[in-house]
């Protein structure tokens, strides 16, 4: 007699995977405008940084176009990031979880997520990138105005302007490294880019990387509609 292991009513049911909304549409648009400005500023800035890189101005129709485009895009970047900052600064404030996360940096690099503490929406690495970008962009806009001779020719003395040029270049170089790190981390952590393209992540991704955030969302929806 053939032995049966299932009871009546048992079946394999295919259901859609759980998805979690991480970023709303206007936040994603805001992010990509900021990223686009960063790329334009990176290319035009490198073109002015060293004569060997001046050929990059060809991407924008020549040196004259790059010269007026760079500061204008810098202003757009500042405004765009400021709007992004208003949306995210509270969630990027440091807390005790960040200290515990930092202590497990070797586990982070090795991908041993099970050894990490439960986290809110952002980890210490993401918060560091956020505040580094915020501080760097403020310095860039201030020094940028100081060296923008076309519109502000007498705002500072020539010696001060020379210092501002050096500071502007050094901080810009630092932001380039932070930007590259941000992009690399987004690619390295599978499923992260989806958050800024579709606005959602899978339930598994949220549980693995930001469990405390997921628990809060689940608890909030259990008590009523999500805000």
Q: Which residues are catalytic?
A: 182
Torsion of Cα atoms, 175 then 180 then 185 then 188, to 10°? 180
Residue 148: strand, helix, or coil: coil
Please check whether residue 206 is in contact with residue 191, taking contact to mean a CB–CB distance below 8 angstroms.
no
Torsion of CA 34, 121, 185, 200, to 10 degrees: -70
Report how far residue 47's alpha carbon sits from residue 44's, in angstroms, rounded to the nearest whole number. 5
Long-range Cβ pairs for the range 79-87 (8 Å, 24+): 80/30, 80/33, 80/34, 80/37, 81/34, 81/133, 81/134, 81/137, 83/30, 84/27, 84/30, 84/31, 84/34, 85/134, 87/27, 87/30
d(CA 163, CA 153): 15
Rg (CA), the chain: 23
**In sequence order, what are the residues at sequence separation of 6 or more whose Cβ sits closer than 8 angstroms to the Cβ of residue 168?**
139, 140, 143, 144, 147
């Amino acid at each position: 007699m053939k032995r049966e292991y299932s009871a009546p009513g048992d079946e394999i049911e295919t259901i859609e995977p759980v998805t979690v909304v991480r970023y709303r549409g206007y936040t994603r648009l805001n992010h990509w405008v900021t990223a686009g400005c960063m790329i334009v500023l990176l290319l035009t800035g490198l073109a002015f940084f060293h004569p060997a890189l001046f050929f990059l101005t060809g991407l924008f129709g020549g040196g004259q176009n790059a010269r007026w485009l760079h500061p204008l895009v810098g202003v757009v970047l500042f405004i765009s990031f400021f709007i992004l900052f208003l949306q995210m600064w509270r969630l990027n404030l440091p807390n005790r979880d960040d200290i515990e996360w930092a202590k497990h940096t070797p586990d982070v690099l090795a991908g041993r997520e099970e050894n990490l503490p439960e986290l809110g929406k952002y980890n210490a690495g993401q918060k560091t990138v956020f505040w580094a970008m915020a501080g760097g962009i403020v310095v860039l806009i201030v020094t940028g105005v100081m060296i923008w001779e076309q519109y502000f020719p007498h705002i500072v003395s020539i010696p001060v302007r020379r210092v501002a040029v050096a500071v502007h270049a050094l901080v810009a170089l630092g932001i380039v490294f932070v930007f590259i790190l941000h992009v690399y981390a987004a690619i390295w952590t599978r499923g992260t880019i989806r958050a800024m393209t579709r606005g959602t992540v899978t339930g598994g991704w949220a549980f693995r990387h930001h469990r405390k955030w997921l628990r809060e969302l689940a608890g909030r929806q259990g008590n009523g509609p999500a805000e």
